[in-house]
Amino acid sequence: MAAVHESVLDAIGGTPLFRLARLGAGLPAPIYAKAEFLNIGGSVKDRAALSMVLAAERDGLLRPGGTIVEATSGNTGIGLAIVGRQRGYRVIAGVSDKSAPEKSDILRAYGAEVVLAPTAVPAEDPAHLFNVVRRLVEEIPGAWLANQYDNPANPDAHVRTTGPEIWEQTGGRVTHFVAGVGTGGTITGNGGYLRQVSGGSVTVVGADPESSMYGGGDGSPWFVDSIGHFLHPDTVEDRWPQAYRSDAVDAFERIPDRESLLTARRLAREEGILAGPSSGTAVAAALRVARRLGPDDLVVVLLPDSGRSYLSKVHSDDWMRQWGFLEEADDLRPLIRPLLDGAGPLVVVDAGATVGEALEALRAAPGGVAPVVLARAARPYGVSATEVVGSVSRAVLAAALSGGGAKPGDPLGDPLGALIGPVLPAVGVGQSPAEARAVLGEAHEAAVVLVDGRAVAVLPRAAFGG
Ligand SMILES: Cc1ncc(COP(=O)(O)O)c(C=O)c1O
């Protein structure tokens, strides 16, 4: 018989394991998924929230009438809203403006106040989410910053609850634990516990977006919410969360966005588990790990949250196509993909470049007709659509060249400044030319084509026909 609880807080934790029988079919080792989306607030973060609030009360940091403040991608805010409101506190959640809008709606529904702020600015910028949240704590009497990134009660939740559950549920047979790394609380707490209780025999694998820094990427943007470590190009001092201990992780699997997102979609269709994109990353990593194992091994992969918060993103065919993650050939609907054959090379220039540097880049990529794309940073993993900040037309640059020369007032050394045109509209490689024409409207002469969320070409209006 199912449990009867006197408070929802008693229902946090105790989640089931599900065998991934279909996705794992034919693999030598079984994979079991820890269904953290079944927590009362819908994510693994309920555990961290409860643990942090109880620790703050115990340590006298949070007193009756107090206010809980946190910077959160949503799930920790939901956990804190539930726990905080049940225990009588005001709750303020600072949410990244990149986060899915449904997450803020849920926070408000639970009675939290939501403050939106950017995270796509350097960490030193006063407008950055973390700085906004710190100011709130200074200004509100009795306010306490949960600070999941550095709070030891975050990983400790997993040392005390999730880790022991996994050990008990598998009868001590677990040999590999796979999870994504956001604050690092999940992997550090579970990994540390499982290693210790198994006498060091459990292998801990971090599932990381390919360009995230945890697993060795360059820190450029990716499309899986809530995991990985991003590095803004202008950040001076990069700080990693104290909830994360790199020595708790034996190895990383670095998962490209397309693999993460398609795996999250397969989880829903093939296993009946509607989970978020970070679950896709974790399961993709678990599948890679299980392929290398034997029948005596047992993989546990942690699924942090539900796919209901991402119906307009990973679980939307339109969204997947718009960002170039989905290309389904359909006789009735031609795709943009074949048009790439006729595209000239993509010319990307740093947004801070000079006129001379932009001209140099154009000379190195002759034959194109489309404008130059300006990006905040062009890094080894290509230019994420989210880092494109403008464009410069070739005609404008050519005019600047004809006016320029090696004389005083030489325009070649000038910043692009007034020559900079708008961000070009973007289309996914799996969209149709007709959709591209609609996106261009009357106002734009060219569109950026995206594959896996990254710019691969700029095509002029004429390329899309019509
Ligand atoms: C959906 C989702 N996946 C993964 C994580 C990462 O977990 P952790 O912060 O414990 O590393 C989080 C954390 O916020 C999350 O919300």
pLDDT at residue 264 tops 90: yes
pLDDT band (50, 70, 90) for residue 404: low
Question: Regarding beta strands 426-428 and 113-117, do their DSSP bridges make them parallel or antiparallel, or are they unpaired?
Answer: unpaired
Q: Among 75, 242, 281, name the best residue to mutate to test ligand 1's pocket (greatest count of ligand atoms within 8 A of Cβ).
A: 75
Could you tell me if the CB of 227 is within 6 A of ligand 1?
Answer: yes
Atom of ligand 1 nearest to the CA of 158: 10
Could you tell me if the CB of 39 is within 6 A of ligand 1?
Answer: no
State the pLDDT at residue 406: 47
103 is catalytic: no
Could you tell me if the CB of 446 is within 6 A of ligand 1?
Answer: no
Name the residue with tokens 């600047």.
Answer: 400
At CA 349, angle to CA 375 and CA 258, rounded to 5? Answer: 50
State the pLDDT at residue 382: 78
Q: How do residues 6-24 score in pLDDT, each as one tens digit? A: 999 999 999 999 999 999 9
**Mean confidence (pLDDT) of the chain:** 93
pLDDT at residue 353 tops 50: yes
Separation of alpha carbons 211 and 384, rounded Å: 11
What share of the chain in percent tops pLDDT 70?
A: 97
Task: Considering the chain, tell me which residue range(s) the CATH 3.40.50.1100 domain(s) occupy.
Answer: 8-40+152-318, 45-145
Separation of alpha carbons 120 and 444, rounded Å: 26
What phi and psi values does residue 115 have, to the nearest 5 degrees? -120, 120
Could you tell me if the CB of 182 is within 6 A of ligand 1?
Answer: yes
pLDDT at residue 271 tops 50: yes
Q: Among 37, 73, 246, name the best residue to mutate to test ligand 1's pocket (greatest count of ligand atoms within 8 A of Cβ).
A: 73
| Per-residue DSSP letter, 185 | H
The listed range with the strongest mean pLDDT (344-358, 380-394, 440-454) is 440-454
Q: Among 47, 106, 278, name the best residue to mutate to test ligand 1's pocket (greatest count of ligand atoms within 8 A of Cβ).
A: 278
Separation of alpha carbons 12 and 34, rounded Å: 14
Nearest Cα to 404, choosing from 355, 456, 371?
355
At CA 382, angle to CA 375 and CA 236, rounded to 5? Answer: 60
| Contacts of the segment 117-122: beta carbons below 8 A, 24+ positions apart | 119/230, 120/232, 120/386, 121/232, 121/234, 122/232, 122/234, 122/235, 122/236
Task: Considering the chain, tell me which residue range(s) the CATH 3.10.580.10 domain(s) occupy.
Answer: 337-464
Could you tell me if the CB of 181 is within 6 A of ligand 1?
Answer: yes
Q: Which residues contact 280 (CB under 8 A, 6 or more apart)?
A: 224, 259, 260, 261, 262, 263, 264, 265, 267, 314
CATH number for 8-40+152-318 (one of 3.30.420.40, 3.40.50.1100, 3.40.605.10, 3.40.50.970): it is 3.40.50.1100
- Distance set, CA 353 to CA 32, 292, 349, 350, 420 (Å): 50, 46, 7, 5, 11
Contact 227, 187 (CB under 8 A): no
pLDDT at residue 52 tops 80: yes
Using DSSP, state whether 190 is helix, strand or coil: helix
Q: State in Å: Cα 118 to ligand 1 middle.
A: 19
Q: Does domain 337-464 have CATH number 3.40.190.10?
A: no
State the pLDDT at residue 171: 98
Measured between its terminal Cα atoms, the distance across the chain in Å is 63
What phi and psi values does residue 376 have, to the nearest 5 degrees? -65, -35
Region 45-145: CATH code: 3.40.50.1100
